[in-house]
Amino acid sequence: MSKKIQSALISVYYKDGLEPLVRLLHENGVKLYSTGGTQTFIENLQIPVTAAEELTGYPSIFGGRVKTLHPAIMGGILYRRDDAGDVAQAAQYNIPAIDLVVVDLYPFEETVASGASEEDIIEKIDIGGISLIRATAKNFKDTLIVSSRSQYGAVVDLLSAKGGATDFEDRRQYAGEAFAVSSHYDGAINSYFISKEVASDAALYDFQKLPSQTLRYGENPHQSATYFGDLEGIFDKLHGKELSYNNLVDVDACVNLIDEFVDGDPTFAIIKHTNACGIATAATAKEAYDNALACDPVSAFGGVVITNSTVDLATAEELNKLFMEILIAPAYEEDALALLKSKKNRILLKRNAVELPNVMFKTILNGVLVQDKDLSTEIASQFTTVTEKAPTADELSALEFALKVCKHTKSNTIVLAKENQLLASGTGQTSRVDALRQAIDKAKAFGFDLNGAVMASDAFFPFADCVEIAHLAGVTAVVQPGGSIRDKDSVEYCNANGLAMVTTGVRHFKH
């Protein structure tokens, strides 16, 4: 199945590195076809080349949108050399064989990343190039596709070693690489139209092209693990041991939660197994940390801590008393950092201002689930009061706070809060009643007074039992999505017992 290349179509956006390949083809007597700037490039090398329009009978039209999409070219690539009917039709319509196609694609991702206008971005969606790649790769039995400038050197070596010929396995290998190129390119375009954040999101569709690091192990020591992504772009690691798989999962949960509190007063959150065991907002960083730790100082041991504020010395002195795996902050004062580094293995991360992708992936069964990130965060102005009693201003503020925490806690979940402080949450329970009882028991165990507290639920109440239990514990206001056919039962209980309830219309399951 060795085939000597006798003709080649070369049409590329980037010309760097192309010259040695063009010269080698010429030295091997290969007839060259080309278009536009590539044709000029070859002519400047004093090498004979035939314009593609001489084959098609058409010039490049519509501002270059149509150059190679013509039977004389696509047919020359696709016709099967061992099929008598194809060979006869090629002769009938004077379609010459094209044995090699060298093509790259318009720089779509680079154009998006540059901040160009949508008009410019759309013009960088390659049509002819992607068609040439797919056609040549499809007919790899007869044709060789070179789909990236990164392949030029290898192709020169291959053709030099084999006297201008290729074997079946050579062509099949390059076909596979070509389909990887086209898949990545289409993924980038798809991502742009979904979220217009191709610079970050599209990379996730082709994660094996991202920087990677092997982790010590996965969730458990008998599981291997690798992280694909640019951690150094997101964090400056200032101190401590290497991040583990479980560390990274908790860090991700920390970042998503604290991003609900980017504006306003200092906020501290303490994460354990992706759920907040403590979170509070206060006038100072130290007060916010103290209040967050008070939520559940037992679970905080060995947790991951994150803040939206600079860590000063007073806060660092309190933080230094806690055994924690990781501390994440946007900045550290020098004396605070020096103190925190006193623990050898403690990981200290400075978070950089990097926009994160809005697409989420999860492997299941023999496939992958893809969904948009949950970017909905409901505020008081979006609440609908469904009870006779409306929440007070303080209750509305607490309900907003509780709902932000609830959104980032495993379902089924109930969150109890008061005055910008988490009192307790019920996490990952199989019933909402169990989640509520767990939250109440935890709050009482750590000495919190639930009188005047508020409750947030990630989904609707199918019965009135939760509002009754919460009311008996001291809760005075409730936020929930609504939407149950029995919403009226909960509303009627609240009306009869002087509770305020608001609905959002948005569910926040987190599985």
Catalytic residues: 138, 273
The count of other CB atoms within 10 Å of the CB of residue 426 is 25
Q: Do the Cβ atoms of 457 and 407 come closer than 8 Å?
A: no
Q: How far apart are CA 497 and CA 22, in angstroms?
A: 85
DSSP H or E segment with residue 88: helix 84-92
- The residue with tokens 């609830």 is 406
Considering all CA atoms of the chain, what is the largest pairwise distance in Å, rounded to the nearest integer? 93
Q: How far apart are CA 245 and CA 232, in angstroms?
A: 16
Q: How far apart are CA 229 and CA 281, in angstroms?
A: 31
Structure tokens at 418: 């008061």
Q: How far apart are CA 394 and CA 418, in angstroms?
A: 9
Q: How far apart are CA 467 and CA 475, in angstroms?
A: 8
- The residue with tokens 């569910």 is 507
Helices marked H in 163-214: 168-195, 198-205
Q: How far apart are CA 239 and CA 337, in angstroms?
A: 9
Structure tokens at 299: 């679970």
Q: Exposed e or buried b for every residue in 336-346, given b needs 16+ CB within 10 A?
A: bbebbbebeeb
| Non-local CB neighbours of 446 within 8 Å, separated by 6+ positions | 294, 295, 296, 297, 424
Structure tokens at 350: 């400075």
DSSP H or E segment with residue 317: helix 313-319
User: Do the strands 267-272 and 275-281 form a parallel or antiparallel pair, or are they unpaired?
Assistant: antiparallel
- Burial bucket for residue 456 (CB in 10 Å: 0-12, 13-18, 19+): buried
Q: Do the Cβ atoms of 352 and 189 come closer than 8 Å?
A: no
- The residue with tokens 């270059």 is 64
User: Do the strands 324-329 and 347-351 form a parallel or antiparallel pair, or are they unpaired?
Assistant: parallel
Q: Do the Cβ atoms of 409 and 395 come closer than 8 Å?
A: no
